[in-house]
Amino acid sequence: MSHSLFEVHGLVIVVMGGTTGLGLSAARALVAHGARVVVCSRSQTNVDAALAELGPQAAGWAGDASLPDTAECAIALAVQRFGRLDGLYHVAGGSGRSHGDGALHEMTDDGLRYTLDLNLASIMLSNRAAVRQFLAQGGGGAILNMGSVLGWSPSPEFFASHAYAAAKAGILGFSRSIASYYAPQNIRVNVIAPALVETPMSRRAVGNEAVMDFIAQKQPLEGGRVGLPEDCDGAALFLLSRAARFITGQVIAVDGGWTVSEGRPWG
């Protein structure tokens, strides 16, 4: 691939949640375009597997993104191994259904806390660590956070996970707020918001025939299909790249048409 396409050649990017699904796909694309990456995951096994695939342009750290020191350690590794930090892509997160997230009247206290920690607090912690590093080294940097269309475009029949929706909406507000505050320091903060993408988190939905019938109408691009992790790579690489140097505080929905569709047949 041409290194000039996304202008990430030589950049050092930490990918939180970079060993499976959307994060690993982005890490592959970053390395293919000449970036150096540090991938972070709770699973040492997943970290080792990712590094075996990504090669010498990558390093890895195993830790829970919802704990304060995990992103700090991953960023410190990036600086130690590659000399600096140019970008953070926070993908880590997931469903809290197994812990009790769901419709509000059925949500458990544990489900609420777990889901907010996993999807919102973890992003605030990694962004804090990145901003501190950017300020310390000077010259600015790029942060890209993983949102969801469910943060503002709900699906009450099939995707009623209200703590998850609140967390993803919180990511939008948080990201725009810090984008505004740190713009004078040339720190850019943007959000990618996918719809349903085929990842380990989405197996429940992908295996449900009624959900797939809904998705065929709700995500009508390319014949009506579930998204693939690589569908988000172009937007991610662009927003992390030098080509996006004048863009901050923006949200891009990579959603197959979710937010402009009714989710039922028409015409």
Sequence ranges of the domains in the chain: 12-251
Q: What pTM did the predictor assign?
A: 0.95
141: Cα separation from own chain's centroid: 17
* Average pLDDT for the chain: 95
pLDDT tens sequence across 184-215: 999 999 999 999 999 776 777 788 889 999 99
Contact assessment for residue 217 and residue 264, using Cβ atoms and an 8 Å cutoff: yes
Which homologous superfamily is 12-251 in?
Answer: NAD(P)-binding Rossmann-like Domain (3.40.50.720)
Query: What is the CA angle 7-22-133, rounded to 5?
Result: 55
DSSP 117: I
Catalytic residue of the set 89, 114, 164, 182:
164
234 in Cβ contact with 26 (< 8 Å): no
Name the DSSP class of 9: T
* 164 part of the active site: yes
Three-state secondary structure call for residue 164: helix
Per-residue pLDDT tens over the stretch 53-68? 999 999 999 999 999 9
Q: What is the pLDDT of residues 22-44, one digit of tens each?
A: 999 999 999 999 999 999 999 99
Residue that is written with structure tokens 């458990």 in the block: 108
Residue range 147-174: average pLDDT? 97
Q: What's the start-to-end Cα distance of the chain, in Å? A: 41
